[in-house]
Amino acid sequence: MNTPKIVALAGSLRTGSFNKKLLAIAADAARAAGAEVTVVDLRELALPLFDQDIEDTSGLPEGAKKLKALLRASDGFIIASPEYNSSIAAPLKNAIDWVSRSETDDEPSLVAYRGKIAAVCSASPGALGGMRGLVTLRSILGNIGVLVLPDQVCISTAHEAFDDTGKLKDERKTKQVTKLVGSLVQLAGKLKVT
């Protein structure tokens, strides 16, 4: 199997984010399954809110160019998405929107997304574990040409779900994450063009 390249990102900016903890577990599992994983922190990209005036006057911001290049060079994504008011977090939507923009007139539409595979997961203090936000995320990703795996992992009562080292206390949930990203790595490897 070819070594798939996976980009892993969390939709939260917060330092102690439950979704960043979940993403770290997923990224480790993907590496163990044989993938090359790049973890991206959206805060470090310092993306302004999408504004076509900014795009028209100075093109894509540097952070957007960096993320777009990583996604374009990857075979798939792991996205840990918090749920904000029954939808996805603004930083994640903003990053998706910036990367969707073409940099040249001859660039194929949605070049960083089309034909890529994604695994989605979520952690939330609520009882549904962020499930409602993943509905929105699936819709967005599907509409921009990303194949989203049907399985997902939602961690409810996230404020109690992780131990002091950032690991999940529930071994069954850890196994679910491992299985999810294992499927992603396997499929991305099979579809990878050499």
The domain ranges of the chain are 5-191
Backbone torsion region of residue 154, taken as left when φ is above 0, otherwise alpha when ψ lies between -120 and 50, otherwise beta: beta
The pLDDT value recorded for residue 193 is 59
Q: What are 184's two structure tokens?
A: 């992603």
pLDDT digits (tens, 9 = 90+) for 34-91: 999 999 999 999 999 999 999 999 999 999 999 999 999 999 999 999 999 999 999 9
Compute the chain's Rg from CA coordinates. Answer: 16
User: Does residue 12 contact residue 84 with C-beta atoms inside 8 Å?
Assistant: no
User: Does residue 115 contact residue 144 with C-beta atoms inside 8 Å?
Assistant: no
Q: Does domain 5-191 have CATH number 3.40.50.2300?
A: no
Alpha-helical regions (H) of the chain:
18-32, 42-45, 52-58, 62-73, 90-99, 131-143, 158-161, 171-191
User: Does residue 68 contact residue 96 with C-beta atoms inside 8 Å?
Assistant: no
For the chain, give the number of residues.
194
The pLDDT value recorded for residue 123 is 96
Regions of the chain with pLDDT less than 50: none
The pLDDT value recorded for residue 192 is 72
Half-sphere exposure of 143 (CA within 13 A, CB side): 9
The owner of tokens 């028209």 is 56
The pLDDT value recorded for residue 57 is 94
Non-local CB neighbours of 64 within 8 Å, separated by 6+ positions: 45, 47, 95, 98, 99, 101
The pLDDT value recorded for residue 127 is 87
The pLDDT value recorded for residue 126 is 87
The owner of tokens 């930083």 is 91
Say how far apart CA 31 and CA 36 lie, in whole Å. 6
